[in-house]
Structure 1
Amino acid sequence: MSDQQPRLWTRNFISISVSNFFLFMTFYFLLVTLPVYVLSDMDGKPAEAGLVTTVFLLSAIIIRPFAGKWMEKAGGAKILLFSLILFTGASALYLFTDTLAGLMVVRFIHGIGFGMATTATGGIVASIVPDARRGEGMGYFVLSSNLAMVLGPFLGLTAMQEWGMKTMLIMGLASSFIGLCAGLFVSVPREPGSSASSRVKGSFSFRELFEGKAIPIALTGAFFAIVYSSILSFVSIYADEAGLNSVSSYFFVVYAAVLLVSRPYTGKWFDLYSPNAIVYPAITLFAVGMLLLGSAHSALIFLAAAALIGLGWGTLFPSYQTIAIMAAPPKRRAMATATFLSIYDIGIGLGSFLIGMLAAKVSIGTIYFYSSIYVLAGIGVYYLLQGRKLQRGKQPEGVESM
């Protein structure tokens, strides 16, 4: 193997990462502001406020397997462009929607665009990142959505509070449009041996909507996503209960800062050694982070938990997505991405529902504390579903021996 590594930071990689960043910026703008908008401006009920997120995620989950199949037939570039146009168009429709029923329709359409676009970006990245740097490349790509997770809620809520909902919606439209513009600069290399004719041949089968080799690691990701959803949905409420409201807004800032510092190392270690060498320590760090979070009575412990969760879960998610992609044949990488994200999103949705029910009976701190045991049990789940397949000498397709 040559000492000189293949290039990672190409025009294609930068463009798709920028597009993904602004895609998720729009997502997080609306995730934190629309429920408030429904309650305050539309006189909606709490259940209806929750539906604006549920409808969006439901349509995204439904469309992803089809998007993966369409990418195999039409190519990634066409699906990416179509999905970004649809996503941007739906972003504009919010400005003309003043009824709850109309908002739900727009959310459903927007979710379709989001589901297709995230499937396309993930599949395209899988095809343009060099095999020898796949863990590193996927880590940096996922970091683009992690950064949006920090900036999006902060900017969205600030805009809504300072300038009103209409200004926030215009910001969301502008963010979508920038993502579309960045997507125009992406060109997708054709897989060896593929052609337009070969992509359209063959009869349709429901099984073709999923990549079977990606299901084990996708189920593992969904297992951990149940806990991660509790952080997304309830960490701010927990901070208020624990008297840590003054530092609650810094949780995801610390989370992202740790990701930025650790990403150059964790991605390279994934490529140099093996997925297992990264996954097992990351699960342990995630568990310790949840333990600290559940017992946090000071700002220092609260932010230390954020750092450990960022290092643990922030390393696990791109590692799992990379494993899903490497397990599939090159021509099925888009479908592997769709399968992984669909099952992962089911875990997020299920987790939000279950944690919400538990929070009505016990404190959120107690849920976080015992979640550390649940996460540790995930070591066994990962080993049984995926880890034992990745023992020495049994690395998934795409990982080179060093």
Structure 2
Amino acid sequence: MTTSMDPRCPDNTAGVRPRLVTRALLLRFVSMVGASASFFLLLPVVPRYAEASGGGSGAPGLATGTLMLATVLGELATPCLVGRFGYRVVLGGGLFLLGAPALVLPLSGGMAGIVVVCFLRGLGFAAAVVAGGALTASLIPAARRGEGLALVGVVSAVPSLCGLPLGVWLVAQVGYGPVAVAAGLVALVSVAAVPGLPDREVTAGPSVGVVAGLRDGALLRPAAVFGTTALAAGIIVTFLPLAVASGSAGVVAVALFVQPLAAVVARWVAGRYGDRHGPSRLVLPGLLLSAAGTLGLALTDSPVAVLAGVAVFGTGFGIAQNATLTLMFARVPASGYGTVSALWNVAYDAGMGVGAAGFGVLAGWTGYPAAFAITAVLMLAALVPARRDRTAGPRHGG
């Protein structure tokens, strides 16, 4: 049976659930895996390469900071580009910018070249995730949007879970050059899947710009809640290895595996629940669980408390990921999918960056246990938008 691919159409007539996995979505998965694998394979590698290339102790921070700055700037600009050129051009261009500079990274010739490579790759990753995210939303039937976005989350999580440790291991085996080339090629090869994707944004109607999205409370509220949970995620990834008791490296390794695993499972469950009962009901529980898990990490001397804390946080974070993104897509027409993708990704990246930077200063004053507790309390400020979205409807509006 053929079903409509337009998420604005009622796909569940006569009690038949619309098909979720289509040829177009499988092709989208190819480009998604290519972008994520390329990005995360080099994420822990380039800072080390920058320092080893004579950049000094500040080189790792400069490399990563440049990458994330370009990513945020690119995410804000991409919806406009999608509205003008369509999904395929922007997605393909993003994959090219992500892959081609990686090929020349071994020839960058010093810190200036490394910074340029990081900046270009950040722009490419931003274009790939924002244009790709908007396109993905158009490929998922509205009746199964939560479940579909959960499946997308699982697919995108695998390259990050594998790429981060794999990049570090490969550098030790074969050196920086081959790893950079591999990361470049995986992005460039995935461009081959782009021509088979639909290209709807050009004719989907008036574009909903980022500025308009920033003025829309219906989009800002879930974005603010998700950004708050992402803030804690950046803290955990950056500072948990430093905060736990010395000699607990094994606990840290397990914790940093449990947290994303719990998030992936919770994201899937939240997607299925949200399709049946509405995603707005899940925004507040996601925030509360995230704050509770962060509070549990204040007991840094207890391995049980640390593992329980990251498990609870990961569950809340996964729920918040799915609920906020599903809710934001439900509140705009198809022409606004690019803006939703941009705002949500900016909340993710900016939240992680601000969290890591601010927590470092706070922990310097209070110590790690108190800093985790204070962070958990500060996260409750997002209760205001979360409570309002608990009862808000899915339709677009302030």
Say whether the fold is shared (TM-score over 0.5).
yes
1:292 corresponds to which residue? Answer: 296
Match of 2:182 among 171, 179, 197: 171
Match of 2:257 among 253, 256, 279: 253
Structure-to-structure mapping, 1:277-356, within 5 angstroms: 277-356=281-360
Q: Give secondary structure in 1 for the equivalent of 2:247.
A: coil
Q: Tell me the distance in 2 between the aligned counterparts of 1:217 and 1:279.
A: 7
User: Does residue 265 of structure 1 match 2:276?
Assistant: no
User: Does residue 54 of structure 1 match 2:65?
Assistant: yes
2:203 corresponds to which residue? Answer: 195
Match of 1:70 among 71, 78, 81: 81
Q: Tell me the distance in 2 between the aligned counterparts of 1:199 and 1:158.
A: 47
2:47 corresponds to which residue? Answer: 35
2:151 corresponds to which residue? Answer: 140
Q: Is residue 225–residue 287 contact of structure 2 (8 Å, CA) maintained in 1?
A: no
Q: Is residue 280–residue 323 contact of structure 2 (8 Å, CA) maintained in 1?
A: no
Q: Tell me the distance in 1 between the aligned counterparts of 2:213 and 2:339.
A: 7
Give CA-to-partner distance per residue, 1:271-305, whole Å, 9 cap, x none: 11122322222222222221222214344433322
Q: Is residue 214–residue 324 contact of structure 1 (8 Å, CA) maintained in 2?
A: yes
Structure-to-structure mapping, 1:17-166, within 5 angstroms: 17-39=29-51, 41-166=52-177
Q: Tell me the distance in 2 between the aligned counterparts of 1:150 and 1:236.
A: 17
Give CA-to-partner distance per residue, 1:99-158, whole Å, 9 cap, x none: 001110111111111111111111001111100111111122123333333212111111
2:20 corresponds to which residue? Answer: 8
| Pair 290,208 (structure 1): closer, same or farther in 2 beyond 3 Å | closer
The offset of 1:235, in angstroms, is 2.1
Determine what percentage of the aligned residue pairs are the same residue.
23
Q: Tell me the distance in 2 between the aligned counterparts of 1:260 and 1:18.
A: 19
Amino acid at match of 1:273: H
Moved more, 50-59 or 253-262: 253-262
The offset of 1:10, in angstroms, is 1.3
Moved more, 341-350 or 152-161: 341-350
RMSD after superposition:
2.7
1:364 corresponds to which residue? Answer: 368
Q: Is residue 38–residue 98 contact of structure 2 (8 Å, CA) maintained in 1?
A: no
Task: Point out where structure 1 has 5 or more consecutive residues left out of the alignment.
Answer: none
So what's the TM-score if we normalise by structure 1?
0.86
Moved more, 116-125 or 254-263: 254-263
Q: Is residue 331–residue 395 contact of structure 2 (8 Å, CA) maintained in 1?
A: yes
Q: Is residue 134–residue 271 contact of structure 1 (8 Å, CA) maintained in 2?
A: yes
1:216 corresponds to which residue? Answer: 221
The offset of 1:206, in angstroms, is 8.2
| Pair 252,24 (structure 1): closer, same or farther in 2 beyond 3 Å | farther
| Pair 14,310 (structure 1): closer, same or farther in 2 beyond 3 Å | farther
Task: Point out where structure 2 has 5 or more consecutive residues left out of the alignment.
Answer: 1-12
1:275 corresponds to which residue? Answer: 279
Amino acid at match of 2:152: F
| Pair 264,293 (structure 1): closer, same or farther in 2 beyond 3 Å | same
Q: Is residue 42–residue 100 contact of structure 1 (8 Å, CA) maintained in 2?
A: yes
1:395 corresponds to which residue? Answer: 394
The offset of 1:24, in angstroms, is 2.0
Amino acid at match of 1:28: F
Moved more, 52-61 or 340-349: 340-349
Q: Tell me the distance in 1 between the aligned counterparts of 2:150 and 2:236.
A: 21
The offset of 1:260, in angstroms, is 4.4
Moved more, 326-335 or 254-263: 254-263
So what's the TM-score if we normalise by structure 2?
0.87
Q: Give secondary structure in 1 for the equivalent of 2:297.
A: helix
Q: Give secondary structure in 2 for the equivalent of 1:43.
A: helix
2:8 corresponds to which residue? Answer: none
Amino acid at match of 2:239: F
Q: Give secondary structure in 2 for the equivalent of 1:123.
A: helix
Q: Tell me the distance in 1 between the aligned counterparts of 2:394 and 2:182.
A: 44
Amino acid at match of 2:394: Q
Q: How many residues align?
A: 384
Give CA-to-partner distance per residue, 1:42-78, whole Å, 9 cap, x none: 2323333211111111112112232111212221122
Q: Is residue 223–residue 343 contact of structure 2 (8 Å, CA) maintained in 1?
A: yes
Q: Tell me the distance in 1 between the aligned counterparts of 2:242 and 2:182.
A: 26
